[in-house]
């Protein structure tokens, strides 16, 4: 079937992409502006520090010829042998660091993707189905405002409002339902229990709302446009003229066609979350992978930075594959005459 | 008048689009009727209001478009009228016709009635209807929806965009069979395959599981015709169904429509700008210009002796009819957008035969010839009168009982209401 052939092709094509991404990371590490060994050891003023600098260079593989180093480096990356952190947490393997920090970011990203999908898209679809009414104008305005507010600003404002919600509204956010602090890393160890799940969700929610805010705005706008486009299409008019029921018209003929332009929007917005999570995690004091990356970068922990960049490359490629998979599932035209 | 009663009749149809700037009268006082097994061609340039007329009949005019409430769109199929009369006894009126005696007991004068019975027995939910009609303008949305597809189906111009690209052709056919005829599973699949076969699609079982993009343009239009036939409608409205197709495919589709008409006795309203297609398909032709019907006649009469300069212009601009070597005749200018009450002939600015009064008097449809079967809205008609006499016919420069045409058909009146209502 040509749809699945198409997907298989995309899958195979992602291998050179990962390869190229890994090579780019190597170039940053080896030829970038920061000497990794110098960043780890610091000023090489004394004889002892010069010695430790040389030793570090050797351990990092910087003394080998470039080609040998490259081959070894790539082999390690693809075996997920990502080395150790040197500055942030000396001696800890980066894989351990990532498995500790990543779930918090995944939890944040999960909600930051869900909120736009379950709030933004339904609102946009409703606005599109009721185009040019007051409620449509209200929803569209809401979408534009939400889209326009910058993350760092919204994060700070939300922090201020929530931490003082007791005085401002007579309703205390920290005490609401379950006791949680406004900032800090959520405890994901008790996700299985209802109270643990509630606490972890509640604590991540403000950060997730901020992180998902822009996506929500743009997904709302695109959902509205997509619905309008579909409603005015020939096949909806013909279905109507042929007496298809109103319910089938909306649920079968309009909604699925609306998804076609929405899928790339959702996945593209999810890429942005990787960048956005760095700011939001820092403001909300969540020790996630974005926070880890930020710390590693400003402290020049280049082995950790390269490992994280490689992980980000893998995530982006995986998201792209997910997008292709969704396309294949939704649209039968994919792969048809597309080669 | 035709021998048989019409299945669909439209009288004084007015459809306007209200925008902030102006009110566009896309369809302005249009009347026509079509009988079972016959084809009415509606012909005119782009922007003459043909497609809006079709959409008005189907109840598919979307905001800001409004079908004027005094318009009458009547559907006469007795079985459907009977179903509606039984379902909406409170909104059923009776009207005496010469052949059937009025029944005073069943008489109800509901002002919001939309079902009218002309020949019937019994009353209430047991009524048996021989003749009557449902007024689709006054009818509630649910009734209009019951008409769509099942009673009156439509075929649109652009076949490639008329099928949902995400569902197989079989899925879309079976959805209609399920909605209108309650067919499911194997039975629906078999019926769908039979439908595809009947519109000349080979290997129908395999084709059912294919997506629209796997069909060629001609095959897509055939599939759309199959969709329209799925519910065995009595009237088929074809809105330029062959315009997007190349000539050989066009001929095949026209042939197919003719076969279907012969088999199923379906009435066809065929909308096109192509006089050649009209010549092949229509029994009767109405020529539309700027929202109005300017001439209506049996097809041969229209082609032999057009009564309106616009029709003459259309006929002269058919390639192949003019002699070789001559330049193809055209009508200069474009169709105006009608925004107000017609106070003059809307074609006058482009008309080679226009004279002074054409810019001051709005012509009404008058008989060309003697039998009332051929009518044109032109101040040059009727030709057996002198200019003053002709103007009198059209309601200009006179206070007499004019504006009404000789055969006294009430549909011919020229409406004088103020502005269009919101």
Phi/psi at B154 (nearest 5 deg)? -135, 145
Instruction: Show the DSSP H helices in chain A as ranges.
Output: 2-31, 36-41, 47-59, 66-78, 94-115, 121-129, 134-148, 151-163, 165-169, 194-231, 234-241, 246-248, 255-284, 289-298, 302-330
Nearest by CB: A241 against B60, B161, B230: B60
Phi/psi at A85 (nearest 5 deg)? -75, 145
Exposed e or buried b for every residue in A112-135, given b needs 16+ CB within 10 A?
bbebbbebbbebbbbbbbebeeee
Chain A positions in Cβ-Cβ contact with residue B271 (cut-off 8 Å): none
pLDDT of residue B396: 58
**End-to-end Cα separation, chain B, in angstroms:** 35
Element (H, E) at B92: strand B92-94
Chain B positions in Cβ-Cβ contact with residue A242 (cut-off 8 Å): 148-149, 153-154, 176, 227-228, 230-231
Phi/psi at B237 (nearest 5 deg)? -100, 120
Q: CB-based burial of residue A153 (10 Å sphere; 0-12 exposed, 13-18 middle, 19+ buried)? A: exposed
Tokens of A250: 């909306």
Place B103 in a pLDDT band, splitting at 50, 70 and 90.
very low
CA nearest to A54, candidates A26, A76, A72, A35: A35
pLDDT of residue B288: 92
pLDDT of residue B412: 39
Nearest by CB: A235 against B58, B149, B164: B164
Mean pLDDT, chain B, rounded, equals 82
* Contact across the interface for B175 and A252, Cβ inside 8 Å: yes
pLDDT of residue B322: 52
Chain A positions in Cβ-Cβ contact with residue B161 (cut-off 8 Å): 233-235
Selection from A265-279, B103-117, B298-312 with the highest mean pLDDT? B298-312
Q: Is the model more confident about B78 or about A52? A: B78
Our CA-based measurement puts residue B212 at a distance from the nearest CA of chain A, in whole angstroms, of 9
Coil, strand or helix at B7: coil
pLDDT at B210 over 80: yes
Nearest residue in chain B measured CA to CA from A330: B166
Nearest by CB: A248 against B153, B175, B224: B175
How would you write the pLDDT of chain A (339 residues) with one tens digit per residue?
Answer: 577 888 888 899 999 999 998 898 888 777 877 777 777 777 666 777 788 888 888 877 778 888 888 888 888 888 878 777 777 777 888 888 888 888 888 888 888 888 889 999 999 999 999 888 899 999 999 999 988 888 889 989 988 888 887 777 777 777 777 777 777 788 777 777 888 888 888 888 889 999 888 888 989 999 999 999 998 888 998 998 888 888 888 888 898 889 888 888 888 887 777 777 888 888 888 888 888 888 888 887 888 888 888 888 888 899 889 888 888 888 888 876 543
Chain B positions in Cβ-Cβ contact with residue A236 (cut-off 8 Å): 164
Our CA-based measurement puts residue A146 at a distance from the nearest CA of chain B, in whole angstroms, of 30
Place of tokens 């939400």: A146
Kindly list the distances between the CA atom of residue A109 and the CA atoms of A112, A266, A333, in Å, as whole numbers in the listed order.
5, 12, 31
Place B398 in a pLDDT band, splitting at 50, 70 and 90.
very low
A53 Cβ contact list (under 8 Å, min separation 6): A37, A38, A41, A44
The mean per-residue pLDDT over the stretch B115-123 comes to: 83
What's the full length of chain B, in residues? Answer: 422
Spatial contact of A269 and A219, defined as CB atoms under 8 Å apart:
yes
Nearest by CB: B211 against A242, A330, A332: A332
CA nearest to A306, candidates A315, A317, A297: A297
Q: Tell me, what DSSP letter sits at residue B103?
A: -
Cβ-based contacts under 8 A for chains A and B? 79
Tokens of B294: 């300017």
Domain extents in chain A: 34-79, 95-330
pLDDT of residue A91: 80
Place B3 in a pLDDT band, splitting at 50, 70 and 90.
low
pLDDT of residue B417: 38
Our CA-based measurement puts residue A336 at a distance from the nearest CA of chain B, in whole angstroms, of 9
The mean per-residue pLDDT over the stretch B171-178 comes to: 91
* Contact across the interface for A242 and B228, Cβ inside 8 Å: yes
Nearest residue in chain B measured CA to CA from A333: B213
Nearest residue in chain B measured CA to CA from A328: B166
Please state whether beta strands B8-18 and B72-75 pair in parallel, antiparallel, or not at all (unpaired). antiparallel
Spatial contact of B227 and A238, defined as CB atoms under 8 Å apart:
yes
Place B75 in a pLDDT band, splitting at 50, 70 and 90.
very high
Q: Above 0.85 for ipTM, yes or no?
A: no
pLDDT in tens, B331-365: 877 788 887 777 788 888 888 888 888 888 888 88
Spatial contact of A232 and A309, defined as CB atoms under 8 Å apart:
no
Selection from B252-261, B342-351, B375-384 with the highest mean pLDDT? B252-261
**Interface probe, candidates B80, B141, B166, B213, chain A, greatest A C-beta count within 10 A:** B166
Which residues of B have a CB under 8 Å from any CB of A?
A: 58, 60, 145-150, 153-154, 156, 158, 161-168, 172, 175-176, 179-180, 211, 213-214, 224, 227-228, 230-231
Four-CA torsion A90, A93, A99, A100, nearest 10 degrees: -20
* Residue A329 sits at the chain B interface (C-beta within 8 Å): no
pTM, entire model: 0.79
pLDDT at B33 over 70: yes
pLDDT at B381 over 70: yes
Q: A95-330 architecture in CATH?
A: Orthogonal Bundle (1.10)
Query: In chain B, what percentage of residues exceed pLDDT 90?
Result: 24
Our CA-based measurement puts residue B240 at a distance from the nearest CA of chain A, in whole angstroms, of 14
């Amino acid at each position: 079937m040509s749809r699945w052939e198409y997907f298989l092709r995309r899958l195979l094509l992602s291998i050179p992409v990962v390869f190229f991404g890994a090579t780019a990371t190597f170039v940053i590490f080896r030829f970038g502006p920061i000497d990794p060994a110098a960043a780890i050891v610091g000023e090489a003023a004394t004889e002892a520090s010069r010695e430790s600098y040389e030793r570090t260079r050797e351990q990092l593989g910087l003394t080998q010829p470039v080609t040998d180093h490259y081959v070894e480096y790539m082999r390690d990356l693809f075996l997920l042998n990502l080395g150790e952190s040197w500055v942030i947490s000396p001696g800890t393997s980066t894989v351990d660091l990532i498995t500790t920090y990543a779930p918090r970011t995944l939890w944040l990203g999960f909600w930051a993707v869900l909120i736009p999908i379950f709030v933004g898209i339904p609102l946009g679809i409703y606005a599109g189905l009721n185009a040019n009414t007051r409620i449509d104008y209200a929803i569209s305005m809401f979408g534009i405002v939400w889209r326009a507010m910058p993350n760092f600003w919204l994060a700070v404002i939300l922090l201020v409002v929530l931490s003082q919600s007791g005085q401002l509204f007579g309703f205390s956010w920290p005490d609401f339902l379950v006791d949680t602090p406004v900032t800090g890393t959520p405890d994901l160890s008790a996700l299985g229990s209802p109270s643990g799940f509630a606490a972890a969700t509640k604590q991540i929610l403000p950060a997730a709302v901020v992180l998902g805010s822009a996506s929500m705005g743009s997904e709302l706008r695109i959902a509205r446009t997509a619905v309008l486009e579909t409603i005015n299409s020939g096949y909806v008019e013909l279905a109507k003229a042929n007496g298809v029921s109103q319910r089938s018209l909306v649920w079968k003929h309009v909604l699925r066609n609306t998804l076609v332009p929405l899928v790339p929007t959702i996945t593209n917005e999810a890429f942005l979350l990787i960048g956005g999570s760095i700011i939001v995690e820092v403001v909300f004091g969540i020790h996630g992978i974005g926070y880890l990356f930020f710390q590693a970068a400003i402290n020049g922990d280049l082995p950790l930075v390269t490992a994280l960049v490689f992980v980000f490359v893998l995530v982006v490629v995986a998201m792209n594959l997910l997008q292709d998979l969704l396309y294949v599932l939704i649209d039968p035209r994919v792969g048809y005459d597309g080669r | 008048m035709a021998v048989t009663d019409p299945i669909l009749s439209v009288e004084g149809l007015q459809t306007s689009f209200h925008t902030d700037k102006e009110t566009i009268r896309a369809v302005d006082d249009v009347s026509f009727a079509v009988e079972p097994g016959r084809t009415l061609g509606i012909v005119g340039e782009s922007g003459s209001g043909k497609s809006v007329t079709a959409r008005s009949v189907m109840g598919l005019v979307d905001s800001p478009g409004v079908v004027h409430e005094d318009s009458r769109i009547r559907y006469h199929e007795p079985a459907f009228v009977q179903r509606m009369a039984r379902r909406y006894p409170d909104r059923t009126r009776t009207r005496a016709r010469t052949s059937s005696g009025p029944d005073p007991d069943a008489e109800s004068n509901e002002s919001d009635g939309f079902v009218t019975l002309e020949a019937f027995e019994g009353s209430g939910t047991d009524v048996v209807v021989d003749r009557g009609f449902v007024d689709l303008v006054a009818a509630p949305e649910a009734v209009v929806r019951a008409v769509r597809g099942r009673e009156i189906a439509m075929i649109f111009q652009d076949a490639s965009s008329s099928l949902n690209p995400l569902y197989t052709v079989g899925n879309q056919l079976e959805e209609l069979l399920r909605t209108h005829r309650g067919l499911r599973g194997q039975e629906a699949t078999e019926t769908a395959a039979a439908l595809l076969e009947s519109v000349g699609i080979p290997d129908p079982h395999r084709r059912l599981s294919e997506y629209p993009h796997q069909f060629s343009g001609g095959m897509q239009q055939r599939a759309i015709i199959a969709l329209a036939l799925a519910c065995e409608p009595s009237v088929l409205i074809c809105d330029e169904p062959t315009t997007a197709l190349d000539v050989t495919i066009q001929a095949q589709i026209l042939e197919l429509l003719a076969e279907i008409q012969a088999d199923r006795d379906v009435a066809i309203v065929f909308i096109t700008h192509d006089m050649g297609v009209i010549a092949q398909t229509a029994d009767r032709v109405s020529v539309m210009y700027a929202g109005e019907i300017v001439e209506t006649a049996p097809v041969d009469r229209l082609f032999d002796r057009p009564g309106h300069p616009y029709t003459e212009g259309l006929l002269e601009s058919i390639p192949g009819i003019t002699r070789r070597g001559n330049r193809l005749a055209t009508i200069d200018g474009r169709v105006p957008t009608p925004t107000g009450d017609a106070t003059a002939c809307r074609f006058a600015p482009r008309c080679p035969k226009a004279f002074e009064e054409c810019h001051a008097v709005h012509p009404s449809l008058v008989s060309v010839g003697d039998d009332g079967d051929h009518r044109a809205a032109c101040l040059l008609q009727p030709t057996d009168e002198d200019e003053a006499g002709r103007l009198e016919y059209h309601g200009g420069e006179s206070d007499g009982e004019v504006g009404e045409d000789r055969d006294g058909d009430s549909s011919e009146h020229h409406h004088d209401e103020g502005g269009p209502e919101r």
